Structure 1
Amino acid sequence: MAGHADLGDFLRRRRAAMTPEAAGLAVPPGQSGRRVRGLRREEVAHLAGVSVDYYTRLEQGRHASPSEAVLDALARVFQLDAAARTHLTDLARPARRRATAVRIPAQRVRPAMAQLIASMTDHPAFVIGRRTDVLASNALARALLTDWTRLPPKHRNYTRWVFLDPDARAAFLNWPTVAAEVAGTLRLYAGRFPDDPQLTELVGELTIKSPEFRAWWNGHQVHERTHGTKQMVHPVVGPITIRYEALALPGDADQTLFIYTTDPGSPSHDNLRLLALWTDQQTNPRPKPTRAVPGPA
């Protein structure tokens, strides 16, 4: 999946997105109408302290292993955040990873963690693994998003749901923002595990079926979810503004616990409580009372 070609594509995208003014370069009078979008290669090379030929070979995928100093310099030139800096390092080291991680094992949520998630009846909670696979979820999360347990195992994927399920587009009022971030999260994983065949299959399916995914994927943006807000609307209870926290699970590599909350006393808090009551009624229906039949006198 990822390799030196992806490294070159990432650098070209970042160079095109960086303006001379943002990079601290003064544009001489008369050159305001530059034909080159973003920075020129020689400008990036100058700012990073490398030769133009060296940087050109990086963009063309003809250099095998840039040093940490070069990566740090490029990250500084392109003003990369922590997630993008990590992604740059991953793309620059595909050969080393292949030597140590040929087989990617299946993931399982520990029984104690699954039990903990199931016990959360007031807050939607679920665990995301590699490729944004949904590994576990509680009843309220399934009611708010979708019932992952009813899907075929290979379809229990958060990114696939966001892009290919019409209900997901209706659920998020800011769907383009949510979807772009999810594509960026998948990009981050692709840089870390370039030889994952299941990821290759997923990206291929999404690229064919979703023009939005194709555009965001080719844009090579990355995103690491830590916390944030989502504006949602549920067909049963109406609008809910969700705050989420993403917690990495120590001891469980590449597993992240997502917990959704709402502001106490807000309409969203009330609507989420209504959804919890509705979910409980759907999950545990109460038996209808029976009228006693009078016996013989």
Structure 2
Amino acid sequence: MDDLGDLGTFLQLRRANVPPESVGVTIGGRRRVAGLRREELAQLAGVSVDYYTRLEQGRATQPSEQVLDALSRALQLDDVARAHLHNLAKQRNRRPRPTSYPATIRPRLRQILDTMSEYPAMILNHRIDVLAYNRLAGLLYWDLDQVPVDDRNLARMIFLDADRFDLYADRSSCTAATVAHLRHAAGEFPDDPELAALIGELSIGSRRFSELWAAADVSVRGHGSQRFRHPMIGVITLHQERFMLPDGSGQELITLAPESDSIDEDNLRLLANLGVDDIGAPQSRP
């Protein structure tokens, strides 16, 4: 596993994943690297090879915003990955201070969650730990109730317990989005030892995670459709919205809603009318 907050490692990983022909570099002869060479990226970004080499090796510690933007263009980074690159550069000279992020939520927020009865809703943190969820989310994520509270991490369940936790219909895109989110979280919360431990555990325990992590893609969870494969109601498509709490805790409220007057709305209503005994869910939820 690479250093989660290391600028040079991120540059190296992204450089290795840029096909030379995609940026107009002519391939001649045998190449020892799959992506761009250092000198090719330096030329594309308009910096010296020596400076770029020192930047990647951690010996150039204060790159300008102009240099970072030039590297972003050369590496074909989108807005989220470009912001991540800038964030890593800011973190480079900062002394790490391990920080603990509580797995608790404010009582008022829990009360609001419980009143949201029409749609599944849950509260996650930046590590994708499930901190709390309402009744309908408990019915949708039916296997969550069988997982100990301290182990309710969606990334861990997706990658390390896939045989049992097979809820997402678009598994390939789901796993890629999960890893890209954790890469972004590593830049936003570089001092979180639990996040570092989680990424290390997933890298060792899942070949799929390790391969995706090496791609160094970066993204944040946003709105969009999510397809679930539920054992009682079949495939259901729900629209996801996320609301980040403004307190810097990394916690966010996630809601899932179907299109109006759709078969998905009918199926969600059917799920809501199921008793807890129908799918083995317990009466109480943390």
Of 249, 252, 271, the match for 1:275: 271
> Shift of residue 274 of structure 1?
0.5
Amino acid in the other structure paired with 1:266: S
Amino acid in the other structure paired with 2:81: A
Quote the Cα distance in structure 2 between the aligned partners of 1:75 and 1:86: 9
Of 82, 91, 95, the match for 1:94: 91
SS at 1:159 equivalent: helix
Contact 1:129 1:255 in 2 (8 A): yes
User: Could you list the runs of 5+ residues in structure 1 that have no partner in the other structure?
Assistant: 286-297
- The change in CA–CA distance for 1:188 and 1:26 in structure 2 (over 3 A counts) is closer
CA offset digits 1:145-178 (Å, max 9, x no partner): 1464653343121211222233665311211210
Quote the Cα distance in structure 2 between the aligned partners of 1:168 and 1:249: 31
Quote the Cα distance in structure 2 between the aligned partners of 1:43 and 1:235: 51
- The change in CA–CA distance for 1:42 and 1:204 in structure 2 (over 3 A counts) is closer
Length, aligned pairs only: 280
> Shift of residue 251 of structure 1?
3.3
- The change in CA–CA distance for 1:102 and 1:5 in structure 2 (over 3 A counts) is closer
CA offset digits 1:212-237 (Å, max 9, x no partner): 11211222212211112122111111
Of 252, 263, 280, the match for 1:256: 252
Q: Report the identity percentage.
A: 44
Contact 1:4 1:61 in 2 (8 A): no
Quote the Cα distance in structure 2 between the aligned partners of 1:82 and 1:137: 31
1:117 lines up with 2:113 in the alignment: yes
CA offset digits 1:39-62 (Å, max 9, x no partner): 332222122221101111222333
Contact 1:4 1:91 in 2 (8 A): no
SS at 1:127 equivalent: strand
> Shift of residue 266 of structure 1?
1.7
Contact 1:140 1:279 in 2 (8 A): no
SS at 1:190 equivalent: helix
Which residue number corresponds to residue 35 of structure 2? 38
Quote the Cα distance in structure 2 between the aligned partners of 1:246 and 1:175: 20
1:226 lines up with 2:222 in the alignment: yes
Which residue number corresponds to residue 208 of structure 1? 204
Quote the Cα distance in structure 1 between the aligned partners of 2:224 and 2:30: 38
Which residue number corresponds to residue 245 of structure 1? 241
Which residue number corresponds to residue 10 of structure 1? 10
- The change in CA–CA distance for 1:22 and 1:168 in structure 2 (over 3 A counts) is farther
CA offset digits 1:82-106 (Å, max 9, x no partner): 221122123223344436x443342
1:166 lines up with 2:162 in the alignment: yes
Amino acid in the other structure paired with 2:54: R
Counterpart mapping for 1:45-60 below 5 A: 45-60=42-57
Which structure has the higher relative contact order (CA within 8 Å, separation 6+)?
2
1:104 lines up with 2:100 in the alignment: yes
Contact 1:4 1:64 in 2 (8 A): no
Higher-Rg structure is 1
Quote the Cα distance in structure 2 between the aligned partners of 1:5 and 1:266: 44
Which residue number corresponds to residue 138 of structure 1? 134
> Shift of residue 78 of structure 1?
1.4
User: Normalised by the size of structure 2, how large is the TM-score?
Assistant: 0.86
Contact 2:105 2:131 in 1 (8 A): yes
Quote the Cα distance in structure 2 between the aligned partners of 1:265 and 1:218: 42
User: Normalised by the size of structure 1, how large is the TM-score?
Assistant: 0.83
> Shift of residue 272 of structure 1?
0.9
SS at 1:131 equivalent: coil
Aligned-residue CA RMSD (Å): 2.7
Quote the Cα distance in structure 1 between the aligned partners of 2:164 and 2:89: 35
User: Could you list the runs of 5+ residues in structure 2 that have no partner in the other structure?
Assistant: none
Contact 1:8 1:58 in 2 (8 A): yes
CA offset digits 1:130-154 (Å, max 9, x no partner): 3112122111112111464653343
CA offset digits 1:160-205 (Å, max 9, x no partner): 1222233665311211210111111111111222232212221222
Amino acid in the other structure paired with 1:64: T
